[in-house]
A and B are shown apart, each in its own frame.
Chain A
């Protein structure tokens, strides 16, 4: 019989395992670096000065707390649960990614690192990394798949304006997973001075736990804000999942609130049955990639299958190991939304709420659209609106057959 843990918040163990997931599957060259990073993060976490620095930048640079917003017209339109948005799309740089980047750049500073690298899919993490690198005066190289460069042009230009070098990745599927391979190759080559800012709750330990910690401000604020607005905790949470950082950021605070239902929404692409999707939990099996064991899209021979999603930020064949564990433990329900459903939700949000969401949270929204009508009117449904859609308008126009 599987033992039900009395807390879902204790992970990972000292070797970075969430149950059988996670760990440190990297080459020997990187091992000393991630051990050093783990030690530095442990020390920083225990240092009130480090937390005070994060608080300062959260308030004055990112603009936190992000509002909790009652989406009244959407609620009326769907005719069920009371829908709230956690508006991390209003953060500086337009997504939740900056929460993590501030934490990691402050850590890089403490460790005396002089050069920053990152991988990016949608370009949001690349923009956030380029932003904090500019803020701290450090040179920055961002790896981005050629295919993503094509579909996220505005963000490529943004990164360049911020002084970052954007290196196109031409290997493999030319998307996020290949950008991560390339960033890891850079890191093993430049071990002495480089800090790798990973953009999601993936990679080798301590990244999944560290990125979750930096993002967990989302859930902490949301609990307080919901308390202020409704006098109680939300009844359910919904977030989209690429690697899973905005989702872990919202979920973590509530994992031990047994009454809170939690939904993670993966990218269903053209539909799970077509094989062209990015839903690793729904359509993948456990394996080892990018430093950790988790669910992966792979063939019977253990070769990684290219993911597909209209949203570059969700187009990844893996998922953070903590999600894999929460999935097996059945604490979080994981589901998927297709490209078409996400596009519909994208337009609905713009017209009903005057908010243009990113394509990534449009997946969460499309699920809310299905879920809300099945729930009573006093049900508090909280969705993480983790990014704004400015970066996506060209791509959406193309998908809708509009020339701009």
Chain B
């Protein structure tokens, strides 16, 4: 039996708990620097130590992202990636990996243009487990969050330093799978995480939700990942990996070398996460 939807995410966090450790979530942009290489990177991530994977769906106007992911979006769009091709890439991945939870992350307009019901149906069929949509807040839940949950996919919401106690219940209400805590007010890839502040924030969140809490934004190195892994259920690394792929591609490296660089960085980060065993 192959787990699908929420169970695959829940199963992974349960397994991590049993191993008494926190997880590593890696982010890559679909089609960066091109479809073929991107698929090979994706396939290499679980063996290198990624416990859960976020696939970014490229958008021309990634308002919440810093320069690294903006550039990755442009590389991918230039390489001709579409929502359909992103889902096809996931389908390919699922042929060899049915255990690693995969979350699609992006902005609303490409999903809106695809059509929400069609997108959810196709994403589910492709083996997607959850969705993060940056620009659809709880105030617009009927747009995407509710339909996503209705088809049995997780809708993973971001909580941020500006989400105060009064607002938190609203953020948690239709969140499922896990909660993603954005460690700093800002865009991706800029600034460094503050583990002490994150520890306090995660405690505050955990008091209000039984969901696992992953922490992202500002985690680039193994030691940062280790520090966050001590206080959260998972550490998310995005821009550092995206930069690694971007630099390798810009340096004219062959696809296999790009995959090797991404895998090496993932191993390093996973090492950091695994050093931080939890009771």
Contact = CB atoms under 8 A, between A and B. Distances in A.
B113 A302 contact: yes
A102 B59 CA distance: 34
Given A188-B64, A302-B83, A31 B139 contact: yes
B113 A32 contact: no
Grouping DSSP codes into helix (H, G, I), strand (E, B) and loop, the B interface class, with mixed when no group exceeds half, is loop
Given A188-B187, A189-B187, A28 B171 contact: yes
A302 B187 contact: no
A24 B140 CA distance: 7
A290 B161 CA distance: 21
Given A28-B182, A185-B63, A298 B134 contact: no
A393 interface: no
Contacts of B108: 25, 288
Nearest to B114: A302
Q: Which of B110, B114, B161 has the most CB of A within 10 A?
A: B110
A340 interface: no
A21 to B, nearest CB: 13
Contact of B163 (A28, A184, A298): A28
A301 interface: yes
Interface string B154-167: 00011111111001
A181 B161 CA distance: 21
B159 to A, nearest CB: 7
A188 B185 contact: yes
B162 A32 contact: yes
A343 interface: no
A28 B63 contact: no
B44 interface: no
A207 B202 CA distance: 33
A287 interface: yes
Contacts of B206: none
B61 A172 contact: yes
B215 interface: no
Contacts of B182: 28-29
Contacts of A25: 108, 135-137, 140
Interface of A: 15, 23-33, 171-172, 177-178, 181, 184-185, 188-191, 285-291, 296, 298, 300-304
Given A29-B161, A189-B187, A285-B113, 5 more contacts: A23-B140, A29-B64, A29-B160, A301-B83, A301-B114
Interface of B: 58-64, 66-67, 70, 74, 77, 82-84, 107-114, 134-140, 157-164, 167, 171, 182, 185-187, 190
